[in-house]
Amino acid sequence: MGLIFDINAGRRYESWCLSPRGRAMQRSAERLILTLLNPQPGERALDVGCGAGHHLEFINRLGLDVTGVDASPYMINMARERLGNRCSIHRGMAEDLPYDDNEFDLVVLINTLEFLDDPLQALREAGRVASGRVFIGVMNSLAWHCLCTRSQNLFRQSFFDHVRFYNVWEVKSYIQLACGPVPVEWRCTQAWPSFMGRIGICKNDLWDLRHWPFGSFLGVSARILYSVKTDNIPLKIRVKKAGQSIAGELSMENINPVQDRQRDERGLSI
């Protein structure tokens, strides 16, 4: 189940989302969604752990048919206030999604895995309801700011005490366990510590190192593959009641094995 935000936790998380660090993470997630998913208008998208709806709003602006799901009633109310009737938002658990198999073209989990106790089951569910691709966006455990956050948490209590950070190898391993050997792409966005500028390292020169595994935000996209895929066509006509069959008129008691064999022999001699 993991951490379900109450009012206090929701306010603290929303405050972090609106901070410079949180806004930078949001821009990173949006950039990686465009790069790794290439979403097309009209596609059906599900945001698992949609929170207050920041990413729902971005995906909706791309012209997608978007749905959000979150375990926290408080965060759902915030998302509904932000989006109005522009998308459908439901309450549900990431580990047990209330949707049919292959119901969505795209499924995204952005800053969701970090708060779950069972990320593997959540990815299994994401793969189940997706017919195309699954996108996972997480704070990179190997990034400079995550290492700093961990060291700070050793001395004081923090909201991030409840967060588990991931690196690219961990996410890819979970995807393989949940969905099998599916094609996977990944990228990192960089948020460089200030001392790098002071020692003469240019951020722009390093931006192209998208597969450098120490970037601040990690995006991983998996393309879901199926060995068998059915196309369920609903039956639109009423089936009439079948009439009595000719064979049904014969009973086993009326069948004479000797006469039956004689008829067969005469038929063969013709």
Does the residue 260 lie in any domain? no
Say which range, 72-81, 174-183, 237-246, 251-260, has the weakest mean pLDDT.
Answer: 251-260
Alpha-carbon dihedral of residues 206, 211, 213, 218, nearest 10 degrees? 100
Mean pLDDT (whole number) for 210-227? 84
At residue 4, the pLDDT reads 82
Q: What is the pLDDT of residues 159-201, one digit of tens each?
A: 556 688 899 999 999 999 999 999 999 998 865 544 444 445 4
At residue 157, the pLDDT reads 45
At residue 31, the pLDDT reads 92
User: Which tokens go with 138?
Assistant: 């997480």
Q: Is 69 helix (H, G, I), strand (E, B) or coil?
A: strand
User: Which tokens go with 115?
Assistant: 């708060």
Q: How confident is the model at residue 24 (pLDDT cuts 50, 70, 90)?
A: confident
At residue 265, the pLDDT reads 58
Does the residue 85 lie in any domain? yes
Q: How confident is the model at residue 116 (pLDDT cuts 50, 70, 90)?
A: very high
At residue 199, the pLDDT reads 46
Does the residue 245 lie in any domain? no
Higher-pLDDT residue of 35, 232: 35
Q: In the predicted model, is pLDDT for residue 233 greater than 50?
A: yes
CA distances to 35, 41, 104, 265 from 53, in Å: 21, 19, 18, 80
Contact 175, 125 (CB under 8 A): no
Q: How confident is the model at residue 155 (pLDDT cuts 50, 70, 90)?
A: very low
Q: How confident is the model at residue 205 (pLDDT cuts 50, 70, 90)?
A: very low
Does the residue 91 lie in any domain? yes
Does the residue 197 lie in any domain? yes
CA–CA separation, 29 vs 35, rounded Å?
A: 10
Say which range, 39-48, 91-100, 125-134, 207-216, has the weakest mean pLDDT.
Answer: 207-216
User: Which tokens go with 92?
Assistant: 């549900």
Q: At which residue do the structure tokens 């109005």 appear?
A: 84
Does the residue 2 lie in any domain? no
Higher-pLDDT residue of 90, 18: 90
Look at residues 91, 23, 12, 81 and name the one whose alpha carbon lies nearest to residue 53.
Answer: 81
Q: How confident is the model at residue 103 (pLDDT cuts 50, 70, 90)?
A: very high
Mean pLDDT (whole number) for 65-84? 94
Helices 73-83 and 7-17 pack at an angle, to 10 degrees, of 50
CA–CA separation, 46 vs 90, rounded Å?
A: 11
Question: Which pTM does this prediction carry?
Answer: 0.74
Instruction: Tell me what the pLDDT averaged over the chain comes to.
Output: 80
- Who's near 205: CB < 8 A, 6+ residues apart? none
- The CATH number of residue 141's host domain is 3.40.50.150
Q: In the predicted model, is pLDDT for residue 96 greater than 70?
A: yes
- Who's near 46: CB < 8 A, 6+ residues apart? 66, 67, 68, 69, 97, 99, 103, 104, 106, 107, 108, 129, 130
Q: In the predicted model, is pLDDT for residue 219 greater than 60?
A: yes
Give the range of the structural domain holding residue 53, as residue numbers without chain letter: 7-223
Q: How confident is the model at residue 14 (pLDDT cuts 50, 70, 90)?
A: confident
Does the residue 113 lie in any domain? yes
Contact 165, 139 (CB under 8 A): yes
Does the residue 72 lie in any domain? yes
Query: What is the DSSP pairing of strand 184-189 with strand 88-91?
Result: unpaired
For Cα atoms 85, 88, 93, give the angle at the middle one, nearest 5 degrees: 145
- Who's near 196: CB < 8 A, 6+ residues apart? 203
At residue 63, the pLDDT reads 95
Q: How many domains, in total, are found in the chain?
A: 1
